Structure 1
């Protein structure tokens, strides 16, 4: 079982601005912050970013309670400067109800929000 995840970022201030906005629809806020490290979560920090040289590609997926929250995450992440890496939609090759959205953060990390439950698809 995982307790927390940490990503290294070359520009902590830019990454902090991105995650402050992108994670808000998921109910995650910055609970800890210093000049070179920030922790996000709900109740306790479990997702961390820290200043340092980036070490390449990383993929982190956050659970969303419903498809509307996946849509809201994607919109917030794009508005925060993220780059599209797969708009909200079903990914039936994973399983029939896998609904996810993918955004590249300012460092190029692949950040996803996913809902595994059935529900109405987002309007066309």
Structure 2
């Protein structure tokens, strides 16, 4: 349903470094950067779908973004990479009650946003 998402961050360089590392296990990388104020992430050969921006006010409260993962191993790798990049654990990878194959892992980014990787495929 979503084509892309973008949001302002409090510390652009810190958030860019975090997302470069955290999104890599999901096959997302920095595809382009605009005036060192907007970073666009996506899959190689694809178009950007995830943007962070230096301009604007960071979200008040907590934003929740769930990113699709191709496998449970990718969820695990995302969670580990995000923690290594300075994120805070907000739910270790595992099955959730939403449906029998919902496998998600949650981290808080440097601004406290809840970033999730989720796989809907069986084991």
The normalised TM-score by structure 1 is: 0.92
1:41 aligns with 2:46: no
Find the counterpart in structure 2 of residue 77 from structure 1: 82
Superposed counterparts of 1:1-124, under 5 Å: 1-34=1-34, 35-42=36-43, 43-51=46-54, 52-56=56-60, 57-91=62-96, 93-119=97-123
Find the counterpart in structure 2 of residue 122 from structure 1: none
Name the SS for the 1:86 alignment partner.
Answer: strand
What CA distance in whole angstroms lies between the structure 2 residues aligned with 1:7 and 1:111?
13
Which portions of structure 1, spanning 4 or more consecutive aligned residues, are displaced by more than 6 angstroms? none
What CA distance in whole angstroms lies between the structure 1 residues aligned with 2:2 and 2:80?
27
What CA distance in whole angstroms lies between the structure 2 residues aligned with 1:58 and 1:48?
14
Displacement after TM superposition at 1:55 (Å): 2.0
The normalised TM-score by structure 2 is: 0.93
What CA distance in whole angstroms lies between the structure 2 residues aligned with 1:63 and 1:3?
13
Can you give the 5+ residue segments of structure 2 that lack an aligned partner in the other structure? none
Displacement after TM superposition at 1:8 (Å): 1.0
Two-structure CA RMSD over aligned residues (Å): 0.8
What CA distance in whole angstroms lies between the structure 2 residues aligned with 1:81 and 1:33?
22
